[in-house]
Structure 1
Amino acid sequence: MTLACVDIGSTFTKAAFVDPATGRLLATAQAPTTLDDVVRGVLAATADHPDTPVIACSSAGGGLRLAVVGYEELISAEAGHRAALSAGARVVHVAAGVLDAPGLAALRDARPDVVLLVGGTDGGEASVLRANAAALVSAASLQGPGASARVPGGSGVLPWSVPVVLAGNVAVRDEVAEVLRRGGLPVHEADNVLPDIGRLAPESARAAIRTVFLEHVIGGDRLSTDPRLRSWVRAVTPDAVLEGVTVLARVLAPEAVSVVVVDVGGATTDVYCVPDPDAEQATLGREAVGIPARRRTVEGDLGVSWSVDALRVAAAVEGLPAPGDEPLHLGEAAATVALRRHLRAEAGYGAGGASARSAGLVVLSGGVFRHADPAAVDRVIARVAADAGGAGSVLGGTPVVVDRRYVLAAVGLLAAEHPEGARALASSLLRSGDEVTAP
Structure 2
Amino acid sequence: MDAYLLLDFGSTYTKLTAVDIENEEILASAKDITTIEDDIMTGFDKAYKKLEEQLEGKDVNFVKKLACSSAAGGLKMVALGLVPDLTAEAAKRAALGAGARVLKVYSYEITNYEAEEIKNSDVDIILLAGGTNGGNKQCVIHNAKMIVKHNIDVPVVVAGNKVANDEIREILEEAGVYFSVTENVMPTLNSLNVEPAREEIRKVFMDKITDAKGLNNAESFVNGILMPTPAAVLKAARVLSEGSDEEEGIGDLIVVDIGGATTDIHSIADGEPTKAGVNMRGLEEPFAKRTVEGDLGMRYSAVSLWEAGGSRKLRNYLGDKKREINIEECCKYRYENIKMVPKNDEEIKFDEAMAKVATELALERHAGHIENVYTPMGVVFNQMGKDLMKVKYMIGTGGVLVHSKNPGDILNAGTFKKEDPTSLKPQEPEFLLDKSYILSAMGLLAHDHPDKAVRIMKKYLVNV
Identify the residue that residue 200 of structure 2 maps to in structure 1.
208
CA pair 426-286 structure 1, distance change in 2 beyond 3 A: same
Whichever residue aligns with residue 138 of structure 1, its letter is K
1:413 deviates by: 0.6
Which of 291, 294, 306 is the equivalent residue of 2:288? 294
1:356-371 aligned at under 5 Å gives the runs 356-371=388-403
Check conservation: 1:68, 1:81, Cα contact below 8 A.
Answer: yes
Unaligned runs of 5+ in 2: 53-60, 272-277, 316-326, 335-346, 372-381
Q: Distance in 1 between matches of 2:370 and 2:216?
A: 37
* TM-score when normalising by structure 2: 0.79
* TM-score when normalising by structure 1: 0.83
Check conservation: 2:66, 2:225, Cα contact below 8 A.
Answer: yes
Identify the residue that residue 234 of structure 1 maps to in structure 2.
226
1:335 deviates by: 2.0
Identify the residue that residue 361 of structure 2 maps to in structure 1.
337
1:7-406 aligned at under 5 Å gives the runs 7-36=8-37, 37-49=39-51, 52=62, 53-140=64-151, 160-223=152-215, 225-228=217-220, 231-251=223-243, 257-276=251-270, 289-316=283-310, 319-321=313-315, 322=327, 326=347, 327-343=351-367, 351=383, 353-372=385-404, 374=405, 376-381=406-411, 389=419, 394=425, 397-406=428-437
Q: Distance in 2 between matches of 1:137 and 1:289?
A: 31
Identify the residue that residue 319 of structure 2 maps to in structure 1.
none
Whichever residue aligns with residue 143 of structure 2, its letter is N
Check conservation: 1:218, 1:229, Cα contact below 8 A.
Answer: no
1:275 deviates by: 0.8
**2:102 is paired with a residue of what secondary structure?**
strand
CA pair 105-398 structure 1, distance change in 2 beyond 3 A: same
CA pair 307-72 structure 1, distance change in 2 beyond 3 A: same
CA pair 242-208 structure 1, distance change in 2 beyond 3 A: same
Whichever residue aligns with residue 403 of structure 1, its letter is D
Q: Distance in 2 between matches of 1:402 and 1:288?
A: 33
Question: C-alpha deviations, 1:81-101, integer Å up to 9, x for none?
Answer: 111111111111100111111
Whichever residue aligns with residue 116 of structure 1, its letter is L
Q: Distance in 2 between matches of 1:309 and 1:241?
A: 27
CA pair 408-205 structure 1, distance change in 2 beyond 3 A: same
Q: Distance in 2 between matches of 1:218 and 1:361?
A: 34
CA pair 189-399 structure 1, distance change in 2 beyond 3 A: same
Question: C-alpha deviations, 1:329-355, integer Å up to 9, x for none?
Answer: 3333322221222125899xx648443
Identify the residue that residue 146 of structure 1 maps to in structure 2.
none
1:273 deviates by: 0.3
Identify the residue that residue 440 of structure 2 maps to in structure 1.
409
Q: Distance in 1 between matches of 2:51 and 2:134?
A: 54
How many percent of aligned residue pairs carry the same amino acid?
31
**1:43 is paired with a residue of what secondary structure?**
helix
RMSD, matched Cα: 3.0
Q: Distance in 2 between matches of 1:225 and 1:409?
A: 21
Q: Distance in 2 between matches of 1:308 and 1:421?
A: 38
1:414 deviates by: 1.0
Question: C-alpha deviations, 1:105-137, integer Å up to 9, x for none?
Answer: 333354321110011112221111111110110
Q: Distance in 2 between matches of 1:382 and 1:46?
A: 36
Q: Distance in 2 between matches of 1:256 and 1:425?
A: 13
**1:357 is paired with a residue of what secondary structure?**
coil
Which deviates more from structure 2 when the two are superposed, residues 178-187 or residues 353-362?
Answer: 353-362
Check conservation: 2:77, 2:123, Cα contact below 8 A.
Answer: yes
Which deviates more from structure 2 when the two are superposed, residues 71-80 or residues 43-52?
Answer: 43-52
Which of 421, 425, 434 is the equivalent residue of 2:452? 421
Question: C-alpha deviations, 1:39-74, integer Å up to 9, x for none?
Answer: 222222222456744211111122111111112212
Q: Distance in 2 between matches of 1:229 and 1:268?
A: 30
Check conservation: 1:65, 1:113, Cα contact below 8 A.
Answer: yes
Q: How many positions carry a matched residue from both structures?
A: 404
1:249 deviates by: 0.7
Question: C-alpha deviations, 1:171-213, integer Å up to 9, x for none?
Answer: 2212202201212211011111111123211111111111221
Whichever residue aligns with residue 367 of structure 1, its letter is G
Which deviates more from structure 2 when the two are superposed, residues 390-399 or residues 176-185?
Answer: 390-399
Whichever residue aligns with residue 410 of structure 1, its letter is A
Check conservation: 1:55, 1:233, Cα contact below 8 A.
Answer: yes
CA pair 381-76 structure 1, distance change in 2 beyond 3 A: closer
CA pair 425-299 structure 1, distance change in 2 beyond 3 A: same
